[in-house]
Amino acid sequence: MDALVIKQVTDEPWVPATEFGLPEGCEYRIYKEQDEDELTVVMARFPPGYLEPRHEHDSDHWGVVVEGEMHVDGKILKPGDFHHAPRNAPHGPFYYPKGCIVFGTLRGGSILHEWTPEAAGVDPATVEVRE
């Protein structure tokens, strides 16, 4: 029988997201690693000015902004706003001019971010949205 699982924010350390294929600067907390249910649960912390290149995963990916803001596809996502990228669907770039914390889940496949060097060279000014 399944049981309630509780994780407090200080239970897991922040780890560099470079191990998940992202450029240096972003950090993750892994609240639940993938097992037979194929679900991964994370918190991601992006510093001010961070650019997450256009990328894809071989997993379905959902995210909710907890703090800060995320600029993507001409929109500014703020606390409570949500995004979803299906498995193998390119998404981003995401720009975090003020920094951001995102609660995320992934189902199936890997958390590994796959992107090209060209994607990392995008000028943040072309992604930033002005209100």
83-100 confidence digits (pLDDT tens): 999 998 988 899 999 999
Model confidence at 101, in pLDDT bands (50, 70, 90)? very high
Task: Report the pLDDT value the prediction gives residue 1, as an integer from 0 to 100.
Answer: 44
Q: What is the pLDDT of residues 35-76, one digit of tens each?
A: 777 888 999 999 999 999 988 888 898 999 999 999 998 899
Residue 5 has pLDDT above 50, yes or no: yes
The pTM score is: 0.86
Contact partners, residue 10, CB within 8 Å, separation at least 6: none
The structural domains of the chain, with segments of one domain joined by +, span 17-126
Across the range 10-19, mean pLDDT stands at 88
Contact partners, residue 96, CB within 8 Å, separation at least 6: 46, 47, 48, 49, 50, 51, 52, 68, 69, 70, 71
CATH number of this structure's domain 17-126:
2.60.120.10
Task: Report the pLDDT value the prediction gives residue 63, as an integer from 0 to 100.
Answer: 95
Beta strands in the chain (DSSP E): 15-16, 27-32, 39-46, 50-52, 60-68, 70-72, 75-77, 82-85, 94-96, 100-107
Which amino acid would we find at residue 114?
E
What is the residue-averaged pLDDT of the chain?
88
